């Protein structure tokens, strides 16, 4: 009886995930995962994109210029690969998040006992993708406005619950920045603590850390620390230099 209940629960959860994932047009693949030292190390980002396409999902790298039909960032999912601690075992799982940082789908944990990193990571990631294939993804043409409206009405919680804060940041910045056209345009990639801003190279230009205010981030650019602040529908990087307050306009696409 207990096994039947668990099986039923798993089916219900899988069904709800697949329904949610089917609401989204495409997936954005980051250039680097937090547990790795470099971009596309061990070619895991390339492998992620390959598997997403194989599973039927349209995918783009975060640095790509994507077609106009995908310009609504809340119609997209954002993939991440997370490493779990394991003794003599490599463990990876996949998350698909919406534009507010909410997890829409989390895969099974792929495991490998191979000692060589390249082989172990590849084996673990491919195993984790089995549950992505099981979703049998097919875009249903559903608008994401229902997701946006539900998130915008959510009450902002204290700092111990950062997702609500991110929701407000994104919902306000989407309107501001989707129309920006600038050769110096920076692209925001979600991180565990906020965002990192990359150029088209791609190169990380600035790191952003969430604060209790949705329109203000702690910002670090090279060795300079300051704040990224939204003023008059424009983002500004403000910092002190020789006891003088400096303010630089920054074009950002969240």
pLDDT of 94-128, one tens digit each? 999 999 899 999 999 999 999 999 999 999 999 99
Give the DSSP per-residue string, 162-205: HHHHHHHHHHHHHHHHTT---TT-EEEEE-SSEEEEE-SS--EE
What digits encode the pLDDT tens for the residues 213-231?
A: 888 999 999 889 999 999 9
Q: Kindly report the pTM of this predicted structure.
A: 0.54
238 and 226 in contact (C-beta within 8 Å)? yes
Half-sphere exposure at residue 109, Cβ-oriented, CA atoms within 13 angstroms: 11
Kindly report, residue by residue over 19-41, the tens digit of the pLDDT: 589 999 999 999 999 999 999 99
* Judgement on whether residues 126 and 167 belong to the same structural domain of the protein: no
Q: Which two tokens stand for residue 123?
A: 């084996």
Is pLDDT of 210 > 70?
yes
8 in a structural domain:
yes
List the structure tokens of 38.
């470099």
Kindly state whether residues 219 and 110 are assigned to the same domain.
no
Q: How many domains does the chain have?
A: 2
Q: How many CB atoms lie within 10 A of CB 48?
A: 25
- The pLDDT, as a whole number, for residue 233 is 85
Residues 107, 23 share a domain: yes
E strand map for 17-102: 26-29, 58-61, 76-84, 90-97
pLDDT at 249 over 90: yes
**Two tokens, residue 89:** 């075992």
What domain range includes position 26?
A: 2-133
Please give the residue that has the higher pLDDT: either 150 or 195.
195
- What's the token pair of residue 144? 């994401």
| Domain termination site, one of 133, 162, 180 | 133
Q: Chain-centre distance of CA 136, in angstroms?
A: 22
* Shared domain check, 183 and 221: yes
Whether 179 and 82 share a structural domain: no
- From first CA to last CA, the distance across the chain in angstroms is 48
Are 163 and 107 found together in one domain?
A: no
* 114 plus 164 within the same structural domain: no
């Amino acid at each position: 009886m207990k096994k039947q209940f668990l099986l039923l629960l798993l089916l219900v959860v899988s069904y709800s995930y697949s329904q949610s994932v089917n609401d989204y047009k495409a997936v954005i693949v980051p250039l680097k995962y937090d547990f790795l030292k470099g971009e596309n190390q061990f070619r895991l980002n390339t492998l992620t994109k390959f598997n997403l396409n194989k599973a039927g999902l349209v995918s783009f790298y975060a640095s790509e210029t994507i077609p106009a039909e995908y310009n609504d960032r809340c119609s997209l999912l954002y993939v991440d690969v997370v490493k779990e601690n394991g003794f003599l075992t490599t463990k990876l799982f996949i998350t698909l998040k919406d534009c507010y940082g909410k997890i829409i789908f989390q895969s099974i944990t792929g495991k490998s006992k191979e000692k060589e990193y390249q082989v172990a990571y590849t084996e673990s990631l491919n195993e984790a993708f089995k549950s992505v294939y099981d979703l049998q993804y097919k875009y249903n043409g559903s608008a994401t406005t229902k997701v946006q409206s539900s998130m915008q009405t959510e009450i902002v919680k204290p700092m111990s619950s950062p997702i609500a804060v991110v929701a407000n940041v994104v919902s306000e910045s989407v309107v501001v920045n989707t129309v920006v056209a600038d050769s110096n345009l920076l692209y925001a990639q979600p991180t565990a603590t906020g965002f990192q801003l990359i150029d088209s190279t791609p190169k990380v230009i600035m790191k952003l850390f969430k604060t209790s205010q949705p329109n203000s981030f702690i910002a670090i650019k090279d060795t300079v620390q300051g704040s990224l602040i939204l003023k008059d529908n424009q983002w500004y990087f403000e910092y002190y230099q020789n006891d003088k307050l400096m303010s630089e306009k920054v074009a950002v696409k969240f």
